[in-house]
Structure 1
Amino acid sequence: VQMEGVTVATERIGKDARLNFQIRPDVLTGVITDENGTPVAGAVVSVGEATATTAADGAYRLPGVPEKGTIIVRRTGFKDATGELDKSLRFDAKLVDNRIKAIYVSAQIGASDELWAEKLQIAETTEINAIVLDLKDSTGHVFYNTNVPMAATIGAKDPKLDVQKRLKEMKDRGIYSIARIVCFEDPLLANARSDLAIHDSTTGGLWTTWNGLAWVNAHQREVWQYNIDLAVEAAKLGFDEVQLDYIRFPSDGLLENADYGDQYANETRLEAITGFLGQMQSAMKPTGSLLAVDIFGLTMWDDGDGGIGQNFAAIAPLVDIVCPMIYPSHFYPGDLGLDIPNNHPYEVIYSSLTNGAAKVPDAAYKLRPWLQDFSYGEGIDYGDAEVAAQIKAANDFGGNGWMLWSPSNEYHVGALAPK
């Protein structure tokens, strides 16, 4: 017996053909808004394995809920809202703003109690409320005591981080934790498993970038699974979010010599990237941690795949947060109508975000840019004023917050608002 909106008990037919069924309403409904009463679209409402997503008016309808359970409402940019199921089968919630304002911390810094304490101090005294911590970087090393078999097999384990200790320190201070995992620039895996690497069509050996770095082949499913296993493990360790970097094909070197093999000759770069992210999304969903990806800043302007398999519109539905690396120093003179884009930090950030949002309006709330906290290339050096200008641009846009990237892990704290 089936009936929409209720759970029906089943009974085995015996000699007595009289059947008695108990039916129970099992559809949870409600409206999700922000603190000002504005409807919040795209919020995920879940009870156990049952999930629903709010529409443009903030309303949702969640069938198949159990008799008892905890309701969790989650959307990037807001704190989770929770409640318990009751007989009314109605749950409305006002979500509290929680835009992420993060700094990046390398594993080397994170492994030092003294240097790590300096970064925690930034979060304790300024508006910074999140830390992006390297678990696997572009060397291919995994910086914690991972149980993923391939990491041990290829010699990638370099457990300099006490992850549980660092997670507790962040949680105790109310700091949102983000695990960074570099995926396809992995020279360690490429050298250990040449069958998973990009090959050079002219030599038959490993293809490398101008800097001599070998890359793994982003078409290879075994490479996908390795990074999926690491991401799921990071989520289970307790990170609030897992952020994937180098989700792309290489952008420098003799690209015309890059040989990806005949097996995937009919799979495009974009199909490889979105296929990987689709599997990653499915694996991450049960963990409760959010999934983010870093993409080139130029994706906010490019309708193609940039030659690297990245397209904002194609990637956005597969992740919770999209993190374009909009570094003004990485735009060429004349780009965006600016003589030297590096000299116009506010304009580059704001125009890039608004242009990207116009391409995929329904995913604008997922945008959380990386901002430039370093000096590079033609134009002015970056200090407090330039970093502050980028932060203002990101704030003026809205979105999901912002993150500061500094390869040295040294930050212009004067650009940050006090706690």
Structure 2
Amino acid sequence: MNIILALLIWTAGGMGMYGQPDGEVTSLLQTSMSTVAKQPAAGSGNAVKSDPQQDEAPVVKGIYVTAYSAGGSRMEELVKLVDDTELNAMVIDIKDDEGYITYKTENAKLQEMGKPQPFIKDMGQLMERLDKHEIYPIARVVVFKDTILAKKNPELSFVKSDGSVWQNGSGDMFVNPYRKEVWDYNVEIAKEAAKLGFKEIQFDYVRFPEGFEKRADSLKYTKSEQSRVDIVAEFVKYARKELEPLGIRVSVDIFGYAASVPAAEGIGQDFVKISKHVDVISPMVYPSHYTTGWFGSKTPDKAPYQTIKGSMEDTHEKLDPLGSYKPIIRPWIQDFTASWLGSGNYAKYGKKEVEEQIRALKEMKVDEYLLWNASNRYTKGVEYK
């Protein structure tokens, strides 16, 4: 593939705490795509190939649901959408982009470290509703982007020379992937979600902040001899080991471009190393995330079929060497209009654009997918094949 220019990851400006998965405004990823070398094949290592939901899970076709929607009147409309179509799953915020635990919990550890904000007032009632309508429940847990935990425990975050906790341009704070306390806190949330009835835990923001390599030496934080890539992969491996006995799947959201570059060393994401330790990998391949030159398209957002097909070609090529350890590929696709890209650079997304993405996935033998719309307003009349 001949790709030129650098990749600029865009996000849905103005969408607040419910923006793209793993998607605050990002910096330029400077990559010379003319000489990209493919990632060497990764061995199975200590990974255990066993799908705890193999006999229970459907071929997942799902939608993103904020905790606010899940606990409010919007849920009626979303359940009807699933009932009336071939959709069959919901990804629901259990720990959101700010770090709020989105339901009431009696867990003393979670109360101490986090901050419950019960957008979902009756979790039991919600789970009964999902079960009644045969909706496969997936709990979204945002991991290392966590303003709540960083404020309460600055030593678990990244501290500037003046003693304040570092935050990005949007005011978001991150916690340190090198800290085992952070791992255990998020795994504890995932374990509680499993007890509540969720069949899968989807970890998001499994990475360092964008552009971290530019500030890694100026911030104060705990670290070891392990690289950022290795420590992030170690967290995923640890989480799966802890959760597998509970009979639930582990999935991870990852930048779509990670399938097309050797590794994103700055943020600590290696597509293969992470994929080796999960049941499901969910690359965010929104056409709006790609710039001119990607997959031979002048305007990728206007070419949903071409962009998705190209991204899946790269994904298969990256993961095929894993053999039997290759996880289920379940991409996030776009059901929103990226008007922030500016006139001439985006398309108004509707039935045709969503179906073109699904068609590309089908042709690339990818049967599962998730639809993202930050406000949970999904296009009507789509054929979810």
- Which TM-score tier does this pair reach, normalised by the shorter chain? 0.7 to 0.9
Q: Is the alpha carbon distance of 1:221 and 1:365 closer, same or farther for their aligned partners in structure 2, counting shifts above 3 Å?
A: closer
Q: In the alignment, does 2:361 pair up with 1:401? A: no
The correspondence for 1:171, drawn from 117, 120, 131, is 131
Deviation at 1:53, TM superposition (A): 5.4
1:205 aligns with 2:161: no
**CA deviation digits over 1:339-383, x for unaligned, max 9?**
111111111112111211112212555110000111112221211
| Aligned counterpart in structure 1 of residue 317 of structure 2, from 358, 383, 387 | 358
1:191 to 143, 151, 154: 151
The aligned counterpart of 1:4 is none
Residue of structure 1 aligned with 2:357, choices 390, 412, 416 = 390
Given the superposition, is the C-alpha separation of residues 53 and 306 from structure 1 closer, same or farther in structure 2, using an over 3 Å criterion? closer
Displacement of 1:291: 0.6
The residue type paired with residue 309 of structure 1 is: G
Deviation at 1:315, TM superposition (A): 0.9
Question: 4+ residue runs of structure 1 moved beyond 6 angstroms?
Answer: none
Query: What is the rounded CA distance, in whole Å, between the counterparts of 1:416 and 1:258 in structure 2?
Result: 50
1:219-258, aligned counterparts within 5 Å?
A: 219-251=178-210, 255-256=214-215
For 1:261 and 1:253, the matched residues in 2 are separated by: 12
1:109 partnered with 2:69: yes
In structure 2, C-alpha distance between the alignment counterparts of 1:334 and 1:283, rounded to whole Å: 42
Match of 1:84 in 2: none
In 2: Cα distance, 1:244 partner to 1:225 partner: 13
Aligned match of 1:23: none
Match of 1:375 among 337, 340, 362: 337
1:292/1:323 contact within 8 Å kept: yes
| Structure 1, gaps ≥5 residues long | 1-51, 55-73, 81-96
Paired residues of 2:211 and 2:266 also in contact (CA < 8 A): no
Residues 306-315 or 102-111, more deviating? 306-315
Give the superposition deviation at 1:333: 1.3
Q: Structure 2 length normalisation: TM-score?
A: 0.80
User: Deviation of residue 288 (structure 1)?
Assistant: 0.2
- In structure 2, the gaps of 5 or more residues are 1-47
Q: In structure 1, give the amino acid aligned to 2:162.
A: T
Q: How does 1:26-41 map to 2 (within 5 A)?
A: none
Contact 2:52 2:248 in 1 (8 A): no
TM-score (norm 1): 0.74
Q: Which has the higher strand share?
A: 1
Q: How does 1:127-142 map to 2 (within 5 A)?
A: 127-142=86-101
Q: Deviations over 1:32-58 (max 9, x none)?
A: xxxxxxxxxxxxxxxxxxxx858xxxx
Matched-pair contact (CA < 8 Å) for 1:127–1:417 = yes
Contact residue 204 and residue 252 of structure 2 kept, 8 A: yes
* 1:14-93 matched pairs, under 5 angstroms: 74=51, 79-80=55-56
CA distance in 2, matches of 1:155, 1:197: 14
Match of 2:252, SS state, is: strand
CA RMSD of aligned residues (A): 2.2
Give the aligned length.
329
Q: Deviations over 1:290-330 (max 9, x none)?
A: 11000000111011125211111101121100000001111
Structure 2 letter corresponding to 1:375: T
Is contact 1:164-1:237 (8 Å) kept? Answer: yes
